[in-house]
Structure 1
């Protein structure tokens, strides 16, 4: 009982204090989100601990486990009703990769036992996005599909639109471009009917994003093939820029939408063989994507920057960006890592192994900033892995 009171008081006090930060409200709101999720994970762990404890009576342990479980649900329901609840993700950057896996595992079990409600749909949306940034696309799709059905039944249109948009991105990652276009078109129609401007901006971004990859798959470079996709992306970018100064939840999602638009525009201009324009968009995408935990989008951004710089004969920056794209994409099992590794191999044959290695050493500090010391040390092994399988 004492533990319950202490932990709940700490959680409530932290959230209240973070929400009242006058000097940096966006930081305070993001810290509030992390606090809700952290305490939910703590109570899940306590519930699991009481359930398997051998030092107390089994029936009492089960009662305590259920009590802790109810507190988890209470925290999640309270969080889901906050106006800053992040339907477009991004908050799990606070946890780190391993802690994120733990948070998903902790929260997955209690949600399976809860009836379909608006709160459940919103938490499932958050977990689905989290699975996506870990590269677990089938699991992400499963979460988003369930959240989509519950949100529709509960009449939560912002949540329904968000899950349609998320499903579109999952389909792009799985190379199912026709289904990705279908999801984003449905999201766009529903967002406009509901007057949901954030959902509309993201739907325009995902629609343009999907159509760019669909056109690229057909290996066509005619400008008219990309014209409509580029128009969608510019409109999504314009709308997201208008929303970027809003409250934290909307501002963060708007930044992610901008990242998606800039990167998609960059990829489109790579396909159109306009490398200088591609670099301008992708460099802006590099800034915007840092607000996101989306490793797939970050990896794609580095990959296409590398290709653009290669086409501009800037081999130094091509090496640097190839390394980052190769590592980030391989870490989430995205096949595009081989595209980055292939470009790096071409650069080795053009410049020589020693020159490429010197360039990697030159950029060591910047590379470590993105992928850490372990990632930097793994680069030669990763390149060798590509050459053995090629």
Structure 2
């Protein structure tokens, strides 16, 4: 009898089906120790480029089990089928994990290949493209670790000696960057708790609530320490780059990874912060702008680093510029992009550098109209905040045109509102009303509630201020303005929009003053003063003080009127606001009624209150009127 022939080898499909059945059987028998065990078994069984075959087998087995469940009526058999389904789910999870791992590995292999084949002058730029946070597949910490490991393993003859050395330097920089971030990560937001009640941000004089100073104490590497120490004293990063005499590629790659991690960590924390959604959103926006500015300054500094070879100056400057663009694009794409202000208060201190000077060039390089319009909007109101009114207007007008081109109606409405508010600051009430009406119309058409709230506040306030200029107006004529502002105030309170609350409360106060309802007016004006102080807007504080001075004067509370009128006049003069003259006129009237001695006596009695608001210098100025 001839010997039995060996059976034909199983096809891949049969092998994979048997493996799937074996995993299910072993699971039901209690032989499977963990999900990790299933994953390791899967990795051992799969052959390269056969994933589609395995997935078909997995799907077929799932359909078979589901079919049993749909027709089976026996409870014991149904229970077994349910257990088989759960066992298969474990294998499906392992398969999904395997696919993700393979995809990451392929992405990493492709990245290594790109870096090997890149020209030396382009290699930093290629690395930054790989790490770009705006890609569909974003490199996380584990991916960067894998990339560093793969780059470390590149040897000749895969690449020439110079390329191998540069790739190894990059690998070391990636690893050191992750290590530096791990060290600073636990201290990332500690600075927020250093000065309770003070303004938070990236630029003040005080070291206590200055994050850069805090972070400098928690890094050991020389380059990030120097950068952070410079930022802590409001020194441009341009100087750091400008003074470089050699290029330590490892150190600069480390800084790229470290700052990337810090920026992401801060934004995530601010987005989730517990104490105020609005404050968190503003600080997240401030983070994007702060880090974009640092990289833009470094780019400008490398352009001027005369002690570096030209090729190094160019590639490092271009790399820093590339990071700036990446940050700005990521910022502009956020769903909660802050179109209505609050950012600059968090972003810049009293001696802040001119952000626009450093972001102007990157903005010109942004091709996407919508992104550019949104960033110009935020920079526009930042300029208005610090008093650069003409620059602010130019940004608003450009942003408005770009928003229209991009059909971004939310951004268009925001800039109509900003232009309305800009005209309010110039006492151009007719223009403010025109912009406000257009913003209100478009916001209602598109269902933009925040835009509508701002439009109502601007329009109502502008109408009241225009009415204030008339020689005679009846309470009946003011009633529509009052109703509009009351609705705006409710909306602003609902959405925690403090600026709109101030405009509505201030407008209501002035309207009731005109209508001789002085006590009601005073109540609204006290609200506007408290809110404007809270948000730190000196011009609105000045307007609120000046209006309360009028109310207290009408109520014959002359001592209070003196304090409010003097504060209003001083604050409005500091902001070069046209309303300062009206407050000054009231001060003159009060001096005449009270006499010089009693007037100064009132100021002395209220010295601590006044100094707390305008400093000793401001108080001395008032005494010498």
TM range (shorter): 0.7 to 0.9
Structure 1 residue 188: Cα displacement: 0.7
* More deviation, 291-300/321-330: 291-300
Matches within 5 A, 1:114-263: 114-115=366-367, 117-243=369-495, 251=496, 254-263=497-506
Choose which of 592, 602, 610 in structure 2 pairs with 1:349.
Answer: 592
Distance 1:283 1:361 in 2: 23
Distance 2:581 2:266 in 1: 45
Distance of aligned partners of 1:365 and 1:115 in 2 relative to their CA distance in 1, 3 Å threshold: farther
Distance 2:356 2:376 in 1: 10
**How many residues are aligned here?**
373
**What TM-score does the superposition give when structure 2 sets the normalisation length?**
0.56
Q: Does 1:81 align with 2:333?
A: yes
For the 8 Å contact 2:508–2:521, the answer to whether it is kept is yes
* More deviation, 36-45/207-216: 36-45
> In structure 2, the residue corresponding to 1:237 is in which secondary structure?
helix
**Larger gyration radius, structure 1 or structure 2:** 2
Indicate the residue corresponding to 1:43 in structure 2: 295
Indicate the residue corresponding to 2:187 in structure 1: none
Choose which of 274, 298, 312 in structure 1 pairs with 2:517.
Answer: 274
For the 8 Å contact 1:134–1:332, the answer to whether it is kept is no
**What TM-score does the superposition give when structure 1 sets the normalisation length?**
0.88
> In structure 1, the residue corresponding to 2:535 is in which secondary structure?
coil
Higher relative contact order (CA 8 A, sep 6+): 1
Distance 1:171 1:27 in 2: 27
Question: When you count helix as a share of all residues, which structure comes out higher?
Answer: 1
Matches within 5 A, 1:311-322: 311-322=554-565
Indicate the residue corresponding to 1:6 in structure 2: 258
Distance 1:261 1:280 in 2: 13
Structure 1 residue 91: Cα displacement: 2.2
For the 8 Å contact 1:92–1:293, the answer to whether it is kept is no
* More deviation, 119-128/162-171: 119-128
Indicate the residue corresponding to 1:387 in structure 2: none
Choose which of 503, 520, 535 in structure 2 pairs with 1:292.
Answer: 535
Distance of aligned partners of 1:183 and 1:70 in 2 relative to their CA distance in 1, 3 Å threshold: same
Matches within 5 A, 1:103-118: 103-115=355-367, 117-118=369-370
Distance of aligned partners of 1:86 and 1:212 in 2 relative to their CA distance in 1, 3 Å threshold: same
Matches within 5 A, 1:62-81: 62-81=314-333
Deviations 1:207-228 (A, max 9, x none): 1111112222223232233222
Structure 1 residue 97: Cα displacement: 5.6
Q: Cα RMSD (Å) of the superposition?
A: 2.2
Distance 1:285 1:192 in 2: 26
Distance 1:48 1:10 in 2: 22
Indicate the residue corresponding to 1:330 in structure 2: 573
Indicate the residue corresponding to 1:388 in structure 2: none
Deviations 1:301-336 (A, max 9, x none): 111111111111112221221222112211221121
Distance 2:569 2:551 in 1: 15
Distance of aligned partners of 1:26 and 1:256 in 2 relative to their CA distance in 1, 3 Å threshold: closer
Distance of aligned partners of 1:31 and 1:348 in 2 relative to their CA distance in 1, 3 Å threshold: same
Distance 1:23 1:240 in 2: 18
Structure 1 residue 257: Cα displacement: 1.1
> In structure 2, the residue corresponding to 1:149 is in which secondary structure?
helix
Distance 2:564 2:300 in 1: 44
